[in-house]
Structure 1
Amino acid sequence: MSLALPRLLQLASPALPVGAYTYSQGLEWAVEAGLVHDQATALEWITGLLEHGVGRFEAPLTACLQRAWAAAEEREVERLNADFLASRESSELRAETVQMGYSLRRLLHELDDFALPEVFDALPEVSFPVGWALAAAAWEIAVVDSLTAYLWSWCENQMMAALKAVPLGQAAGQRILLALGGRLPAVVQQALELPEERWSNFAPGLALASSRHETQYSRLFRS
């Protein structure tokens, strides 16, 4: 049996100590504003971001990062890392990926399962997709599988944020995940085929929600 699947499950696990559970990526403000208030509106919000935001920029970028790591294209890794950091629309979203990237970089050092490239430590700030893609490449996980798991992990974290912030029941959360899971194959396929000139991070609703979350009076989450 290949180790790729167990390694992928570990990488996508909510137990991965990178602090993902502390972020809602603007969802908490959407709840505060009344835009998200039940299962249907939570699914609509998360689906919109999956298909028109994360799926059209972060996902294809992460796939390219994994290919770059596998081919030892260090300059490409540096370029894509800089592009992703520059794409964060608010200070909270930028701080989120830098914090999670820092935590994952430290974890990969502590796991000592493979030799880390020097450029990985040389990056002053490492975004989360860079660390994820490096682990997936080192563990020889197929790009289609690693990207599916990356997006699943994102969906799961958004669902958990909705459970706490709306709040929603556990069954509602599982119905949301079931619906999102059904959309993942098409989102992944599009991300793998989308040329870089067509990548798009245009999600003004997310940018506004994230910016307004920074001054939200009562908060459970860090973004």
Structure 2
Amino acid sequence: MSAALQLARLLQLASPALPVGAYTYSQGLEWAVESGVITDETTAGRWIADLMQHGIGRYEAPLVFALMAAWTAGDSAEIARLNGEFLASRESAELRAETAQMGFSLNRLVRDLRDPDLASVESTLASLGEIAFPTGWAGLAASWKIAPEAALTAYLWSWAENQVMAALKAVPLGQAAGQRLLAELGGRIPAVAVDAQKLPEMQWSNFTPAFAIACARHETQYSRLFRS
């Protein structure tokens, strides 16, 4: 696969047009707005950056890196273990439903793409009961031979972009504010991606109590736009 085609595949994976429903989730950000923790561009940027640095970057990103290695090695037992670990790490019912729904949608997309290069991904995903979104995403990235650092950068960017889009709707913020937030977050992503590749599994951590509380409280929020 040429470098140009790898880049095109990576852009496809990171695109908000990927039909997995990511745009319908805020991951607790909507409750943070409702409760007054997020009120403007500055507080939205702080919330998203802190979560990326201390939560996504220290657990989800290194897990995606490990999953890519397992997919590349064809280690189905390790893929199943990491998939189960991620599902078990979801602190609220909405968070677990989110990753399972997006994993289900991504699994369906793998079939619908009809790409012979994804045959092993399709068969391995079929052997799993509930599929976490990072599991399927890492499988696609590995099968398309995307470099791990580039894949992690795109994964983090896609997550950050979805968070910013949620903030634009929920706070609300203007388009220029959204672009400033993305520029700031984009500047942080390369370092987070590099650190994620070096972090041993024993040091992975998603200990972010405010995030977990926000996700749990969103489940009973009276008026809301997002599913998490």
User: What TM-score do the two structures reach when normalised by structure 1?
Assistant: 0.99
**Of the candidates 173, 182, 187, which is equivalent to residue 187 of structure 2?**
182
CA RMSD of aligned residues (A): 0.7
Q: How far does the alpha carbon of each residue in 1:57-110 deviate from its partner, in whole angstroms, 9 at most, with x for none?
A: 000000100110000011000000000000000000000000000000000110
Q: Which residue of 2 aligns with 1:83?
A: 85
Distance, in Å, in 1 between the alignment partners of 2:191 and 2:148 is: 15
Q: Which residue of 2 aligns with 1:64?
A: 66
Deviation at 1:119, TM superposition (A): 2.4
Deviation at 1:112, TM superposition (A): 1.2
Q: Residue 73 of structure 1 aligns to which amino acid in structure 2?
A: D
Q: Which residue of 1 aligns with 2:152?
A: 147
Q: Which residue of 1 aligns with 2:207?
A: 202
Distance, in Å, in 1 between the alignment partners of 2:149 and 2:218 is: 33
Instruction: State how 1:161-172 maps to structure 2 within 5 Å.
Output: 161-172=166-177
Q: How far does the alpha carbon of each residue in 1:22-70 deviate from its partner, in whole angstroms, 9 at most, with x for none?
A: 0000000000000001000000000010000000000000010011000
Q: Which runs of 4+ in 1 moved over 2 A?
A: 116-119
- The question of 1:15 aligning with 2:17 is answered yes
**Of the candidates 143, 160, 165, which is equivalent to residue 160 of structure 1?**
165
Partner SS state of residue 36, structure 2: coil
Distance, in Å, in 1 between the alignment partners of 2:151 and 2:111 is: 20
Q: Residue 220 of structure 1 aligns to which amino acid in structure 2?
A: L
**Of the candidates 84, 92, 95, which is equivalent to residue 93 of structure 1?**
95
Distance, in Å, in 1 between the alignment partners of 2:189 and 2:153 is: 7
Q: Which residue of 1 aligns with 2:217?
A: 212
Instruction: State how 1:18-29 maps to structure 2 within 5 Å.
Output: 18-29=20-31
Deviation at 1:153, TM superposition (A): 0.0
Distance, in Å, in 1 between the alignment partners of 2:209 and 2:76 is: 32
Deviation at 1:116, TM superposition (A): 3.1
Deviation at 1:185, TM superposition (A): 1.0
**Of the candidates 29, 38, 41, which is equivalent to residue 40 of structure 2?**
38
Q: Which residue of 2 aligns with 1:191?
A: 196
Instruction: State how 1:124-143 maps to structure 2 within 5 Å.
Output: 124-143=129-148
Q: Which residue of 1 aligns with 2:109?
A: 107
Q: Residue 180 of structure 1 aligns to which amino acid in structure 2?
A: L
Q: Residue 149 of structure 1 aligns to which amino acid in structure 2?
A: A
Partner SS state of residue 26, structure 2: coil
Q: Which runs of 5+ in 1 are unaligned?
A: none
Partner SS state of residue 53, structure 1: helix
Q: How far does the alpha carbon of each residue in 1:132-175 deviate from its partner, in whole angstroms, 9 at most, with x for none?
A: 00000110000000010000000000000000000000000000
Q: Which runs of 5+ in 2 are unaligned?
A: none
Percent pairwise identity: 65
Distance, in Å, in 2 between the alignment partners of 1:12 and 1:104 is: 13
Distance, in Å, in 1 between the alignment partners of 2:102 and 2:152 is: 17
Partner SS state of residue 186, structure 1: helix
